[in-house]
Structure 1
Amino acid sequence: MNNYRKTLLALPLIILSGCNSSSNSNKTITKAQVKPKADYVFSSAKLDELYQERQEIQQEAMRLTYDGVQYNKILFAEDLNREQKVVRLADSLGRQIDLYLPDAGVDSCGIYTERKGLDLFDCDAALRSVSNETTLIKTTTNNKELPIELEYDNDLSQYVTSIGSTILSTTQNGNQITITTSFAFNAFYHNVLKETGTIDRIESTLGVSTYSQLFDIVKLYQGSEMRLRFNNHIGGSADDDINMYTGLMIKSNNMTTVVTPTGSVFSGGTDLFAAGYPRILQRADTNKAIALNKQVGVHSWAEGDKTAKEFPYTDESHRKQATYFKKVMGNKGIDFYIFTLDSAPASGEHWMTKANSDKYSFITRIE
C-alpha cells in the first residue's frame, strides 16, 4: 500500500520533470486563450481622435463647383463597385448634389439631382490634372454645358465611402422619438442605375455619418424614449471603429431597436441592432422561418489575408469586439461574438435562425 501511495505522489513530479527536461528548457508551453477578454477601454479621447480623422475626410477630401455653386462637404458616399462610387456633397447653405465618380477610363462622370436628373461630363485620364496631392478636373457638362470643377485629395478620396450612406430621419409623438433608416442614394439607384431592389437588395452602409446623425438626434431629444427602426437593408459598416461608438450611444440611451418588414441588418448593422433593448424583429413574411427572410445576418471578419480566427484572442481587434458585445448584451455577449466568427467566413453570410437567437437571447420579440 505504501509503495502504491508513493507511486501516485511521484507522478506529478515525473510529469513536471518531463516538461522541464533539457531539450525544452528554454520553451514555455502557453495554452491558447479560449475566449477574448472584455478588457478594451472605449474612451472619449479615443472617440475624439477617430471623429476628427473622419471629419477631415468629410471636409477636405473633395471640392466641387457646379454652375457657380461650391460644394465642399461630403455627407454620404457609397461604392457601386470597385471602380465606381457616388458621393453626396453639400454647400454652405445645405444644398445637396450627387456626384457620380468612376475611375479614369471607366465611364463618364456625372452630376445628379432629382429635380434636374443626370448631367454627364468627361473625366477620362487626359482631363485629370494630377499632382502629388490632388487631382483636378475642369470642364463643362455634356448635356447642359455648365461649367464644372472637381478637385479631390488623392489620399483622402480613397476613404470617402467609409463615411456611410444611411440617412436617419425622426418623427415625434409626445415623448417618443422614432428614428428611421433609409438609403441616401435611393433616387440615384432608381432613376440612373434603374435598380429597384426587386431582384437584388439595395443596401446602405454605416459610418461616421451614422454616428454624427445619431449624436445630433440624441442631443436634440435628450431624455426622450427612442426607437431605432432599421427600415431598409443595412449591408454593414464601412468603419467598424466608429460603428462601435454608435452602438454604445444606442445602449447608453436605452433605445429600442426594430428590424421592420422592409428592413434587414447584416454585419455592422447587426452590431447596432444588438445594442438596443428590447430587440424586435418584424418579419418580412410571417409564413417563413426567420432565417429564410434573411433579416438578421452575421459573419466573421478578416484583415488582409488573415481570417479572424488566425489572430490570437489577445489581439486588440478581438478584445474590442468582445468588450463591445459584453457591454451591449451582458454575459452572453462574448459567446455571441464567437458565434459570429464561426457562423460564416468574412466573404460569406449567415442568416440567424430562431435557435441561434434563443441560444444567445438575441431577438427578444418576433412579430
Structure 2
Amino acid sequence: MTLLTSAAGTWQLQRYPVRSHDTLQAWEAADELLHELIVERDDQRPLLINDQWGALLMPFAGLDVASQSDSYVSHCGWRHNLELNQLPDTLTALAPLESLPDDRDVVYLKIPKSLSLLEFQLAKLAAELPAGTPIFAAAKSKLLTPAVRDLFAQYCETIEVSLIRRKCRTIRAITRSIALDQARFMSSWEVPEFNLTLHHHAGVFARNQLDIGARFMLDNMPPTGAEQVIDLGCGNGVLGLYYARLSPNSEVTFVDESYLAIASTHRNIVSNLPASQLSQYDFHVDDCLAHRASESADLILCNPPFHQEHAVTEHIARQMFRDSRRVLRKNGELWVVANRHLPYYQPLKRLFKSVHQIAQNSKFVIFQARG
C-alpha cells in the first residue's frame, strides 16, 4: 500500500499523519500519468500545485522545486515523505496566498475538488508566471467537466486533453498573461438571523451559504463563560465567532488545516467583532491540535469534516476527538455537531467519561463530551 512504482522511479509514500492499517493510498493514477510526462522532459525548476502527499515531489527531490497547497497537512506530508525516502529537502513550500516564484519552467497541477480554488490557482498562474509557461494537469476523468475545461480556456492557451487512461485524463496547456483581480475571488454574504457578514476565500468550505450543520449548532450553543475556547476545524470560523459574540470575555483560538480557511476566519473576526476584542483571538494552521498544549482549553467546538479531497473518511474526526481529550482541562467540554448517519457516538464514548446528546433534528446531532 505504500510502495509507489511509476515511470519516474520507486518510493515509499505514506499519507500523513501516518496511521496503522491505513486503507487509503497516498497517490492515484493521475499522479502516475503525470510521472510519465515528467520523464519526457528535463525540468529543473518545477512548480507543483495540489500535490497531496508528495507523489509529484519525489521525482524532483534535490532540484529547485516549489510546491503550493492550501493544506497544512500536505505540507507536513511532503517533508515526511522526503525524510522517509532519505531524499534531500530543497523544497520551497508555499501557501495559496503567497506569491509564486516567477522563474518556474513548468507547472504540474492536480485538479482540486473545488472549482473556485482551481480558478484562483489558474488566475495566479496567469498573473504571476511568464506567458507561455507549460502546465500539465491531471485528475480523474469525471472531474474534467465542461466547467473545468472552460476555466483552462480562460486562463491558458494551446489546450490539449488526453484520452481516458485508468479512468483519468491529463491536460496540456500554456499560460496566458492576465492581471489578477484578487477581490473577485473573495465571496461575501449576510446571515441576517445571526447578524453576521461572512467572507470566504476560494475553496473554503460552505463558501456560498451557511452550512446547515453549523446553523444547527448556532441554534444550540454551549453556555457562555468558558475562558479558553477552540473552534477546531473552524472553516469560516462561524462557530467560534458566534460564541465570541455571546461570551465577549472568552479567549477563542481558531484552528484549521486550510490556510485559506484561517485567512477567511481572520477576515470574519475583524468584520464582525469590536476592534477592542481582537487581541483575545488567535488563528493557527495545524494538523488538528498537534501543536496545542495539553490541558489548555475549557471548551472545544467542532464541526468535523468527513471528506479529504475526494476520499470519504472518518479518521480526521477521530483524530480531532483524541486531540480534544488531551487538550481539554478537567471538566472541559467538547461539543460536536455531525450528520446523524456518522458513527461518532462510540468513538467519543471510548475517549470521554460522559457523552450526552444535546440536540437532534432530521439530519444532525449535537454531542457534548466531558471528562
Instruction: Answer yes or no: same fold by TM over 0.5.
Output: no
Structure whose CA Rg is larger: 1
